[in-house]
Every structure is written in C-alpha cells, then in structure tokens.
Amino acid sequence: MMMSPETPVQAMVKYILFIALIFGAVMDSLSQTAFHARLADSTLTLTQQSVVYDPTYFRIDYPNGDVPANRGVCSDVVIRAYRKVGIDLQRKVHADMKANFSKYPKKWGLKSTDRNIDHRRVPNLMTFFGRKGISLPVTTSAKDYIPGDVVCWNLGGAVTHIGIVVNQKSADGARYLIVHNIGRGQVLEDCLFNFTIIGHYRYGG
C-alpha cells in the first residue's frame, strides 16, 4: 500500500515538534547546570561554619532534621549543602528506603528504616544517588568532575567518604576542589584523587 506524500502542513508540524524537543532539552540542561552551580556555591558557604567532626548517633527532627550545627561528619556536608538549595535528603532517603528497603545496604544489622541516621550513612547516600540521580563514570580525568558533582571514596577497608565538587580550582588549575569533612571540619581541599574513588553522582532532586 502506497503512503500519501507528506503535505507542507504536516512537514511544518513535524519541524515545529522537532524544534520544541531540542529547545526543551537545551532548557532542561541549562536548568540542571544552573542548579548544580547553586549547589556548589551553597556547599562552599559551609566552610565558613565551624564544625567538629563527631560521628555520634543523634535523635533529630523529621523532616529537615539536623545534628547540632557545630557537629557533623562527611555526609552532613552533603545533607546541609542540598538543604540550602531546598532538598531534604533526610526525607528523600527515608521515603525511598521505606519503599525499597531491600535495595539498600544491610551493613548495620537494621531490619527497618531509621530516619535519624539512614541519610547520614555514605553507602545509603550512594545507593540513593545511584537510584534517583545520574551515576557517572569513575575516571582519573579531572575534567570529568565538575561543580555540583558528588564524589565518594574508599579510605581503606570498609571506610567510605563523601564530598562535593565546588567551583574553585587547585593551585595548578588542573582540577576543581572538594568541600568535605574528613576529621577537620567542613573544609575546602584539593583532594579529588587523594583516595580511591568509588562513586560519582549528579543529583538535582
């Protein structure tokens, strides 16, 4: 059966739809880029806050709960940075864990969720970002890690770590710096490749 030739009107409609799709993709990309720039800027402000490294278990409010402002660990840097741009990882991780508990690590002997601590554990954040965000390749090329990216490392054994890439570069201009808390508070450091990278994510809520 022969198809009828496409009319000028049909061709124009197809062209307009194509342009609309391209425009939508570009706008979405710009929106995500702007979001991650804001996230990186918000992360950088955390370095102005004096924080003592403290892995103590705290009972906290829900949602939008936080440990004492002058306390925290590496995951609290990420939680606080995202909260500054309107995303409550405590609530989001808890909701996803509650609905998909079997997909999360069982390293702590838990049989149910605990909204006081679940979002403060790096393996849980890795699982959440992998499920709800973009899981990016782990490479040794500095250009692959841009402001707003979340990076996770293995420090040896079962010790994991997490931080956020910000819009400031190393002294040699070769790579972006990281805001993290590895024991000295919420600090800005040139440490992207100091440890073994095990996770690289981009999450915009």
Provide the residue-wise pLDDT of the chain in tens; the chain has 205 residues. 555 667 766 666 566 555 444 443 333 444 468 999 999 999 999 999 999 999 999 999 999 999 999 999 999 999 999 999 999 999 999 999 999 999 999 988 889 999 999 999 999 999 999 999 999 999 999 999 999 999 999 999 999 999 999 999 999 999 999 999 999 999 999 999 999 999 999 999 8
Judge contact between 138 and 199, C-beta under 8 A: yes
Task: Give pLDDT, residue 26.
Answer: 34
Give the H or E element holding residue 144: none
Domain span at residue 59 reads: 8-202
Q: In sequence order, which ranges of the chain are alpha helices (DSSP H)?
A: 8-45, 74-84, 89-99, 122-132
Terminus-to-terminus CA distance in the chain, angstroms?
A: 49
How far, in Å, are 8, 10, 12 from residue 3 at the CA level?
A: 15, 14, 18
Judge contact between 156 and 171, C-beta under 8 A: no
Task: Give pLDDT, residue 2.
Answer: 55
Q: In sequence order, which ranges of 100-185 are alpha helices (DSSP H)?
A: 122-132
For residue 160, being part of any structural domain is answered with yes
Judge contact between 168 and 177, C-beta under 8 A: yes
For residue 2, being part of any structural domain is answered with no
For residue 19, being part of any structural domain is answered with yes
The one-letter code for the residue type at 75 is S
147 — phi, psi (to 5°)? -55, 135
For residue 34, being part of any structural domain is answered with yes
Q: Which residues, 6+ apart, have CB-to-CB distance to 183 below 8 Å?
A: 53
For residue 1, being part of any structural domain is answered with no
Q: In sequence order, which ranges of 62-176 are alpha helices (DSSP H)?
A: 74-84, 89-99, 122-132
For residue 12, being part of any structural domain is answered with yes
For residue 3, being part of any structural domain is answered with no
Task: Give pLDDT, residue 188.
Answer: 98
Task: Give pLDDT, residue 20.
Answer: 43
Q: Where are the beta strands (DSSP E) in 55-203?
A: 71-72, 134-135, 150-156, 159-169, 176-180, 187-189, 196-202
Task: Give pLDDT, residue 17.
Answer: 55
For residue 157, being part of any structural domain is answered with yes
User: How far is the C-alpha of 123 from the C-alpha of 120, rounded, in Å?
Assistant: 9
CATH number at residue 97: 3.90.1720.10
Pull the structure tokens for residue 197: 């990278």
User: How far is the C-alpha of 131 from the C-alpha of 62, rounded, in Å?
Assistant: 22
By residue count, the chain amounts to 205
Q: How many domains does the chain have?
A: 1
- pTM score, two decimals? 0.85
Task: Give pLDDT, residue 58.
Answer: 98
